[in-house]
Chains A and B, each alone.
Chain A
Amino acid sequence: MLPVREGFVLAAILFTLGLTGVLVRRNVVFVLMSIEVMLNAAGLAFIVAGARWRQPDGQVVFLFILAMAAAEVSVGLALVLELYHQYKSLDTDAISRMRG
C-alpha cells in the first residue's frame, strides 16, 4: 500500500520547486527543465491517486502526460534554437519585445 499523504506532499513539493524554477531562472533551457519537473509532479499525483483508488486511470493519464511532455520539449527546444539564432542569448528577460 502506497503512503498516499506522503505521495501527495512529494508531488506538491516537486510542483512548487518546478514553478519556482520557472519564475526565477532566466535561462530558457532551465525554464524548460523546470516545466518538465512540474509536469512530472502532476504525473506523480495521478499515479498516487490511481494507486489509492485502485484504478488504472491514473497510470493512463501519466502516459498522456509523458507523450505531451515529449512533444512540448521537442517544440520548446526548436524555439530555443531559433531564439538563440535571433538574439544570441538565452536570457528570457532580454527577449521582451511583446510589451503592452
Chain B
Amino acid sequence: MLGLLWLVPVFPFAGALLLAVFGSRMGAKAVAVAGTGTIAASAAISLLIAAAFLGAPPPGGAYTQTLWTWIDAGSFRPEIAFHLDALSLVMMLVVTFVSLLIHLYSTEFMRGDEGYSRFFAYMNLFVASMVTLLLADNLLLLYLGWEGVGLCSYLLIGFWYQDPVNGRAGQKAFIVTRVGDTAMAVGLFLLFYSLGTLRIQDLMHAAQTRWSTGSPVAIAAAALLLGGAAGKSAQLPLQTWLPDAMAGPTPTSALIHAATMVTAGVYLIARTHVLFELAPPVQLAVAAVGAATLLMAGFSALTQNDIKRVLAYSTISQIGYMFLALGVGAWGAAIFHFMTHAFFKALLFLAAGIVIEALHHEHNIFRMGGLRRELPAAFWMFLIGGCALAGLPAITAGFYSKDLILWSAANSAVGGMGLWTAGVAGVLLTSLYTFRLIFLVFFGPAATPVSRRPGLAMVLPACVLAFLAIAGGFDKAPFLAFMATALPAFREASGGMSELVSSVAAGLAFLAGLLAAWYAYVHNPALSRAAAASPMGRLLHRFWFADWGMDWLYDRVFVRPVVWLAAVNKADFIDSIYDGLARLAALGHRLLSVTETGKLRWHAAWIAGGAVFVVAIVMFL
C-alpha cells in the first residue's frame, strides 16, 4: 500500500496538466470534477497510506520510494525519491484534505469567473508542488517543490490580472520570497559542498557525525535555511508580502495560509532540525524571530479594516508561534499547531469568503455589521474559527496547540520567561483582534444588504473544518507520541512552570482580550473611536496599519535606489559596446558599397588587382 505514495503528487499534477491543456474547451462541470476529483483521489490515497503506515509501521519509522535518478553528474546524483515518516505523513494528510475542502468550496465560489479552468489548474499545481515539497527525499527535490509553490502563489495572487494592483501584489510576493529562496539556495550549495550529499537523511546523519555543536559552518548553513524559511513563511523581516497577497481570490488565500506555502518554512526547519540543534544561536534566533513576529503582526492586525488583511496578519502571527515552538525545540508542538492552524485558518478564510461574496465583494469591516442574523452559517463558522484562533480554553483545538507551545517556551533550556511572556501577550492580542473582527462584522447594526447566500458546496467544507477546528486538539498525546518517531522529543528543563499555570495564564489572556474587544466595540464603541482619534492613537494606528512602516522602509532602502539606478542607466552602458560593434559593421557596409560602381572596367580592375594580390601573397609569404 505504501507503494502508492508516488500517486499522491502525481494526481494533482495530472489534473493541472489536463486543465492547462484542455481546460478552455471543457465545461464548468467537467473542470470542477477534474480539479476537485484529482485532489480527492490524492487525499484518498493519502488516507490509505496513513492507514497502512499506522497499521504496520515500516522499519525505522520511515519509508523511502525511489522512482528514478534525476541528475547523474559525478558524485552529484539527486533522485526523484519520496520519503515518508511521521512528519511528512501528517503534513501530507493535512495538506491534501484541507486542499480538497478548499477545492470543493471553490467550485461554487469561483462559478461564473471567466478564468474558472485556469484557477483550478493553478490550484492543482499548487497542491502538487506542496506535496512534492513535503515528500521530497533530497533537498533539491524539496527546492523544486519550494519554487513551484512560489510560482503558483504568484500566479494565484495575480489571478485577476486585469487590475494592475493584483499583478503588483503577485510580483511582490514572488520577489520578497525570492530573497529568502536565494539564501536557501546558497545554504544548499554550502551543505552539498561540505557534506557531499543532498539526501536529507544522509545529510542529517553526516552533519551529526562531522560537525560539532556550534561549529561555524553548521551555524552558517542553519542561518541560510532560516532565511529561506522566513521568506516562505512570512516571518520577520520578510513578512511584508503576505498581507498584499490578499489580492488573490479568497480560496487562494485559504490555500496559501492553511495548507500550502506559508507552512513550508516551518516544515523545512522541522525537517532539518538536526542542523538547528547543531547551531544553538540560530535556533535561538528562530525563537526570537517567531516571538517578535507574532507580537508585531498582532499589533498590525488590530488596526486593519480589511477582513482578509486581519486574517493575513493573524496567519503571520500564528506562524510566529510555530517558529517559537521550533526555536525552543518543541518540534512536535510546532507541527501540532500547524495542523490545528490549517483547520481553523482555512475555516476562517472560507467563512470570510462567504461574507465577502454575500456583500458584493465588500472587504471593509466597518461597512459590515449585523450579519449574525443574515448569514447564520457564516457566523457560526467564523465564531468557531475565531475561538480556535484566539484559543478558547478547553474546547478548541487552537487552545491545546498554542498552550503546548507556551508551556514549551517556558520550560525549554533555550527559551525562558521572556519568550513565554511574548507568547501570552500574543494570545491577548489575538483574542482582541479576533473578537474585534467578529463583533464588527457580525454584531451591531447592519450596514450593507446581503445579496447572495452560500450554497451547499461552500457551507459543507466549512462545516467539516469547523468540526476539525474543535476536535483536532483532543488527540494531543497520541499525536505527540507519533511525531516523536520522526522528530526528537521535547527536552524539558528542570524548575520550569507547571502546565496548569501556563494554561490558566493563556486562558486569562484570552478572556481579557475578549472582554476588551467586547467593551471597546460593543458596549462602548465610542471608546475605540476616541482611542483611535487621540494624537497618540492616530500615530500608533498609522504606524501599525502600515505594518510598522516596514513597507515604507523597504521602499526607501531597496526599491527606490534600484529604480533610481535603472532610470539613470536607462541607456544601459554595456549595451553601447554592442551598439558600437553594430555601428562599425554598418560603417564598413557603407564604405564597401561605394566600391560597387556598376562599371564593368572597375570590376575587372578589382578582380585583376585581387588576383595579383593573392598571387603575391602565395609567392612571397
Contact = CB atoms under 8 A, between A and B. Distances in A.
User: Do A and B bind?
Assistant: yes
Interface of A: 19, 22-24, 26, 31, 92-93, 95-100
Given A98-B598, A99-B596, 7 more contacts: A92-B601, A96-B598, A96-B599, A98-B596, A100-B592, A100-B593, A100-B595
Contacts of B56: none
Contacts of A22: 601, 604
A19 B607 CA distance: 11
Nearest to B611: A19
Interface string B582-611: 000000000011111111110011001000
A31 B597 contact: no
Contacts of A100: 592-598
A93 B595 contact: no
Given A19-B608, A23-B605, A23-B608, A95 B600 contact: yes
A26 to B, nearest CB: 7
Nearest to B604: A22
Nearest to A99: B598
B601 A93 contact: yes
A22 B611 CA distance: 15
Contacts of A95: 600
Name the residue in A23, A24, A26, A97 with the highest tally of chain B Cβ atoms < 10 Å from its Cβ. A23
Contacts of A98: 596, 598
Contacts, number: 34
A98 B603 CA distance: 11
B608 to A, nearest CB: 6
Contacts of A96: 597-600
B614 to A, nearest CB: 16
Contacts of A97: 598
Contact of A92 (B592, B596, B600, B605): B600
A34 to B, nearest CB: 10
Contact of A23 (B596, B598, B601): B601
Contacts of A19: 608
21 contacts: A22-B601, A23-B604, A23-B605, A24-B601, A26-B601, A31-B600, A92-B600, A92-B601, A93-B600, A93-B601, A96-B598, A96-B599, A97-B598, A99-B596, A99-B598, A100-B592, A100-B593, A100-B594, A100-B595, A100-B596, A100-B597
Name the residue in B593, B600, B604, B608 with the highest tally of chain A Cβ atoms < 10 Å from its Cβ. B600
Contacts of B600: 31, 92-93, 95-96
Nearest to A100: B596
Nearest to B608: A19
Contacts of B597: 96, 99-100
A51 to B, nearest CB: 24
Name the residue in A26, A96, A99, A100 with the highest tally of chain B Cβ atoms < 10 Å from its Cβ. A100
B599 A92 contact: yes
Nearest to B595: A100
A20 B597 CA distance: 20
B22 to A, nearest CB: 56
Contacts of A31: 600
B381 to A, nearest CB: 81
B408 to A, nearest CB: 85
Interface string B555-593: 000000000000000000000000000000000000011
B296 to A, nearest CB: 73
A96 B599 CA distance: 5
Contacts of B608: 19, 23
A19 B594 CA distance: 24
Contacts of B594: 100
A23 B597 CA distance: 15
Nearest 4 CB-CB pairs, A to B? A100-B596, A96-B598, A99-B598, A100-B593
Contacts of B595: 100
Contacts of B593: 100
B598 to A, nearest CB: 4
Contacts of B599: 92-93, 96
Interface in B453-487: none
Interface in B114-136: none
A31 B601 CA distance: 9
A98 B600 CA distance: 9
Contacts of B601: 22-24, 26, 92-93
A92 B603 CA distance: 11
A26 B600 CA distance: 9
B612 to A, nearest CB: 10
Contacts of A99: 596-598
A23 B601 CA distance: 5
A95 B599 CA distance: 7
Nearest to B593: A100
A9 to B, nearest CB: 18
